[in-house]
Chain A
Amino acid sequence: MEVSPVDQAVITQALIAAADEMGIKLIRSAHSPVVREAQDCSAAILDRKGRVVSQADLIPIQLGSVTHTFRACLEHHPLETLQDGDFLINNDPYAGGQHLPDIFLFSPIFLDGVLIGVTATVVHHIDLGGGAPGLNPDAGDVHEEGITFPPGRWSVARDWNGGPFERLVRANVRMPEATIGDINAQFAANAVGGERLRGLCRKFGADTVFAAMDEMLDYSERRIRAAIAAAPDGAYSGEAWLDDDGAGGEPVPIRASLTVRGDSIAVDFAGTAPQVATNMNSPFASTASSAIACIKAVLTDPDIPFNAGAERAITVTAPYGCLVDPRPPAPVRARLLPSYRVVNAVMNALAGAVPDRVIAPGFDTTTVSCLSHKHDSGYNIYLEIFGGGYGAGPENDGCDAVDSMLSNCSNIPIEAMESDYPFFRVEDYSLRSASGGAGRQRGGMGFQRIYRILDDGVTFATYGDRFRFAAQGVFGGGPGAKAETFVERGGQKIPLKSKQQFPLSRGDRLTVRTGGGGGYGPATERDAGLAERDRLDGFGSNPG
């Protein structure tokens, strides 16, 4: 069926707008600060075959795996068996999911009894049980990280709103009001998307909408392929290192081999370290979305809609049992750490193919800062995701103090935090003024957050990286500063590790510092005006 250019444009815009609207309403009606302030969530619309056609630009790593997470549901509940009023849920890292806190919720949408598409939302939930509130850095397997909801189909009317599935969730999490409230926000956003999808089908006819959806996938595929075809054919390789295996051991390498042939790219991770005993394993869905997100960001213009069609030109493979495709029941909570090194390794390889399109490595690390407080009537859990400095580009300084590439979490305002979490006060939130790598273009700066603990019975849990290996500069640029975390107690400074739990008491002062990005080009070539501006504003570059 042929769709006119105008109808195609109308339907494309409307589907992208509907996904955006789902994302906005999800954030605005959610309960936990990690969703409503930090915006650790995503939304997408899938076609009637279960392929993502449009998505809200929220969290790239979640978005990259929506199609795969849904496919795992379909293996147990094929499309033709779905009914109006069903919902599907999946958070299983070993069935297309990410890590347990990211719950994928799908609502099949029907019009006149016919399946016309599926709306999907993903939320990072604040606590899903497991061995510690919010985050258990010591988990030895995925079971210690929380409850798994394997790919499964349920009924809203029968199982939610007081039904058995809702009660199951409620019984297994530490902050049930927040979790149920956030899942309700997912249901509501899915409903909004469903309403928009039905409206489109009523207006244009379902067949026209289906044909336009097919074309949206083909369109993204064509544009990605055109961009790949412009890169020189060949085999390229890259690598990146994690500080350790999560338990203070040896550095852990991630190696990527890229083959560019015509208009497609194959990525393989042979040579990557075996999986580790700690939570620093990247489930394959995370690995694949990281590699694809990096290739898209480097090779293409930001305006190409990301959907299932964009993935067709790129194949990703990894040896089973390695760090980036672990065997169950390996723990995976800190999967973004290896995922970022996947990005670094792939970008390092792409530098060989398209040196003028890459940027220097950035801090490229998710640092989780989680403070939980146990009181008489339950738990209060604070969790925030920190980025750092971006790597410098050929013509720009790296962005300062911003979430890293695979994520896009906002900070929680100090004024919101201190209202919701009376057990601490923020004494400092500032840029680390000399943390960006020196260079013709300076690396982005990291930042620090200092918390004063106001009550006993508080636990800090964290994971991070780049305590040992800084983000390196490129083409003569210098490295960014490394990260560090420490506690001041009674005049003593207690250094913390990049991954650990630590009990805190009233009066303790906790400092979390994130690192800077690498510089681009030699510092001696830096523009005098920029250097003077930095001096006036009190910015230096990392002494190296």
Chain B
Amino acid sequence: MRVGIEVGGTFTDLVAVDGESVRTAKVPSTPASPNRGAMHAIDAAGLDPGRIEELVHGSTVATNAVLERKGAAVCLFVTRGTRDLLLLQRHDKEAIYDLRYRKPEPVVPRRDVIEVDERMAPDGRAVRVPDRAAVAELVRRALADGNYEAAAICFLHAYANPDHERTVSGIVRELAPSLPVTCSSDVTREFREYERASTTALAAYVQPIMAGYVGRFSAALAERGFAGRFSIMQSNGGRMPAEAMARNAISALFSGPAAGVVGAVRSVAGAGYRNLITLDMGGTSTDVALIADGRSELASMTRIDGLPVKTPVIDIVTVGAGGGSIAWADDGGLLRAGPGSAGAMPGPACYRRGGDRPTVTDAHLVRGTLRADAFLGGRMEVDRDAARRVYEPLAGRFGMSVEDIADSVIRLAEVSIVRAIQRVSTERGRDPRDYVLVPFGGAGPLHAARVAEDLAIGTVVVPPDAGVLSASGLLLSDHVHYRTRTRRLAVAPGSMADIRATVETLQAEARDYLAGLGIEAGADFDRVLEMRYLGQAFEVPVSLAGLDLDALRAEELARLFGEAHRRIFEFAKPHGDPVEVVSFRVGVRAPPPPMPAMRGPRANGAAGRRSAVLTERGEALEAGLLVRAELGPDPTRGPLLIDDGSATVYVPPGWTAARDGNDNAVLRKEA
């Protein structure tokens, strides 16, 4: 039996696969000790841990450690003269007109930063070699003073030559064998010292927390008889064995959203969809990602709580539009939706937990796209009158009916989602019309068709069991490992051998790393070169997927770069303008065994009413009501509301819905 358990902020989801049978469970999360919620999920699904051969886990432990500043006490060793690296940051402001601006707070305070007398030059030549005795003395003093739980090292130009970092980490390990040590050159081999130091400090900061969590969870599982393989999801959409993750926790920072994307990609792959935009809308925010040819794109940098993290992350754009987003009128008389959110507590007014501000979820009740008698499949009671009441003041202010103002608020939330999708598509030279939209999360399927329409996307595919998609994404994910290296090489016939050799070295390193963990990798590598025109400072990723490296000529590589540059910047320089490779990223993967297709809920008694009235764009519409299992293979015309247990699918007028052979609900815009 294989089991995926995803611990989210509110719910812990489980998917268990045993032969051809699939079981799911959803239980409340236990934020104080997340592994307890995970155990509850195992019990709720009636599973015997002793029978689990493989457990894949996703959790927000690392993320929360940073957001709540509950990570380890870290001492950070830096090059002499750069003690304040984490406080100086990049000298700029996120809000230019804010007189009371404060920078994001680093995770290592100044008192724990230690300068080492060493220096490298940009070409990797040692300018000043660290004195071993002096370093040993420095380390001894530092460790005597502070109760450190981890050490981090980030020296200038270590991306070019990590020797000094290795010397110092060796000394720390000698003197404190149990102290975990993280070197910047092991976390990311790329230039720009603040971003690399921030990543290194964060890596050291979350590492003991993750190791402790994995240890506790493993022990609790073992006590219940579990003896299978245990792996954990990474931000890049692949997983790693838990014991390796305990040493490389930084790569788990954004694992939750990544699992959802993998779940979406793999769930619709069976029906042949390879170009898609995922839309995960929850209570407070919406995540979107673009998938071209079945592969999610990776971003080389992201931020957490304002702090840069330079590790490969599935390229996800998040906007503050969710079911709990609050509608309001600003002092210039503009109607707004979000970014403020009522969250889970007090939540929308219709929950009757004390919420008194109008939210997007309330707007759906008012408008009629959510029904009080079928909320979460009828498992949760909500108050439509309360929702109407909180919308009355706004309706009065704009001289509109309550239904119309509610409809406007929903459309504003959709505008933010459309913006997010444009950021991953048009702004990167991708035409959204070439993609299908795949919504999941509680609110995604309610908005997807209208969002698609605004982007001229003609097809929306709602996978079955959209509510536990992240948990099934865990089981569907590959084991993945990435290696990166900064190495500047001109794109010219003379350097192609070097480029090939660098890629091959990274391939071998990545494969050996997985082999060391007992995992045999496939022959299919992700190979991306970060390239630019000579003189530029930002690189454009160029994928070498599917190319024969041995036959690749300099001209061809320059041409591929020119195309990628044009796609993003709408111009390319004349052919022959010098181009360089700046860094290399190579990933290796080992796919999981196949998983039986998820099936939607069986028809569990048809709904009592067969139609309902809703208001959209100033019109009252009579919408047909269906439960998902009733949807047939022939297209049914909207307006329809389809009840999917954990989510409602809205099919507007002008759209049709049908069930495909893989149990997806497929919505199509009528010509």
Residues of A bordering B, CB below 8 Å: 4-6, 8-10, 12-14, 17, 21, 25, 27-31, 33, 36-37, 39, 57-60, 177-178, 181, 184, 187-188, 191-192, 195, 219-220, 222-223, 226, 293, 296-298, 302-304, 306, 358-359, 386-387, 390, 393, 395-397, 399-403, 405, 408-411, 413-416, 418-419, 422, 425-431, 447, 450, 536-539
A418 with B121: in contact, given A6-B412, A409-B91, A409-B92 (CB under 8 Å)?
yes
User: Contact at B92–A390, with CB atoms within 8 Å?
Assistant: no
In the assembled complex, B494 has its CB within 8 A of some CB on chain A: no
**B131 interface hit (Cβ, 8 Å):** no
Q: Are A401 and B81 in contact (CB under 8 A)?
A: no
Q: Which residues of B contact A411 (CB under 8 A)?
A: 88, 90-91
Report Cα–Cα, A306/B95, bound state, in Å.
13
- Residues B87-120 near A (CB distance < 8 A): 87-88, 90-93, 95-103, 109-111, 119
Min CB–CB distance B110 → chain A (angstroms): 4
Interface centre among B80, B103, B122 (most CB of A within 10 A): B122
Question: A387 contacts which of B84, B91, B194 (Cβ < 8 Å)?
Answer: B91
Q: Which of A6, A30, A303, A450 contacts B536 (CB 8 A)?
A: A30
* Central interface residue in B92, B411, B422, by most chain A CB within 10 Å: B92
Contact A188 B571 (CB under 8 A): yes
Q: Is the CB of A31 within 8 A of B332?
A: no
Cross-chain contact A6 with B415 (CB below 8 angstroms) = yes
- The reply to whether B570 and A191 contact each other, CB–CB distance below 8 Å, is yes
The answer to whether A400 and B192 touch (CB under 8 A), given A57-B96, A304-B332, A415-B157, is no
- Other-chain residue from B422, B569, B571 in contact with A28 (beta carbon distance below 8 A): B569
Nearest chain-B residue to A12 (Cβ)? Answer: B334
A415 touches B122 (CB 8 A): yes
Asked whether B332 lies within 8 Å of A410 as measured between CB atoms, the reply is no
Q: Which of A37, A427, A429 has the most chain B CB atoms inside 10 A of its CB?
A: A429
User: Assuming A219-B334, A396-B100, A402-B103, what are 4 further A-B pairs, CB within 8 angstroms?
Assistant: A30-B537, A36-B536, A393-B99, A418-B122
**A37 surroundings in chain B (CB, below 8 A):** 537
Residues of A within 8 Å of B85, CB to CB, are: 429
Q: Roughly how many angstroms separate A184 CA and B412 CA in the complex, as a whole number?
A: 36
A25 touches B192 (CB 8 A): no
Question: Would you call A429 and B81 a contact (CB within 8 A)?
Answer: yes
- The residues of A that contact B96 with a CB separation of less than 8 Å are 57-60, 405, 408
B191 at the interface (CB under 8 A from A): yes
Q: Is B39 located at the chain interface by the 8 A CB criterion?
A: no
When distances are taken between beta carbons in the complex, the residues of chain A under 8 Å from B110 are: 537-539
B87→A400 contact, CB < 8 A: yes
Chain B residues within 8 Å of A, Cβ to Cβ = 80-85, 87-88, 90-93, 95-103, 109-111, 119, 121-122, 127, 156-157, 159, 191-194, 330-336, 398, 408, 411-412, 415-416, 419, 422-423, 427, 535-538, 568-571
List the A residue with the shortest CB-CB distance to B617.
A6
* CA–CA, A54 and B64, complex, Å: 36
Q: In the docked arrangement, what's the CA distance between A206 and B93, Å?
A: 35
CB neighbours of A58 from chain B (8 A): 96
B303, chain A: closest CB distance, angstroms: 15
Q: How far is the CB of A518 from chain B (nearest CB, A)?
A: 13
Cβ–Cβ contact B408 & A414, under 8 A: no
> Do A195 and B570 have beta carbons less than 8 Å apart?
yes
Identity of the chain A residue whose Cβ is nearest the Cβ of B192 in the assembled complex: A413
Q: List the A side residues contacting B334 at CB < 8 Å.
A: 5, 8-9, 12, 219
CB distance from A368 to the nearest CB of B (A): 14
Given contacts A28-B538, A402-B103, contact A410 B192 (CB under 8 A): no
Contacts of B82 in A (CB 8 A): 414, 428-430
Chain A nearest CB from B181 CB (Å) reads 22
User: Please, how many angstroms separate the alpha-carbon atoms of A63 and B146 in the complex?
Assistant: 48
User: 30 A-B pairs, CB-CB below 8 angstroms?
Assistant: A4-B408, A5-B398, A6-B335, A13-B416, A14-B419, A27-B538, A28-B569, A188-B569, A188-B570, A195-B570, A226-B332, A297-B99, A302-B98, A359-B99, A387-B91, A401-B84, A401-B91, A402-B92, A408-B92, A409-B92, A419-B191, A422-B122, A428-B80, A429-B85, A429-B88, A430-B84, A430-B88, A536-B111, A537-B109, A537-B110
Q: How far is the CA of A59 from the CA of B423 in the complex (A)?
A: 23
A177-B535, A304-B332 given; A428·B81 CB < 8 A: yes
Q: Nearest Cβ in chain A — how far from B299, in angstroms?
A: 14
In the complex, chain A residues whose CB is within 8 Å of the CB of B91: 386-387, 401-403, 409-411
Residues on A with beta carbons closer than 8 Å to the beta carbon of B81? 426-430, 450
Q: How far is the CA of A513 from the CA of B617 in the complex (A)?
A: 61
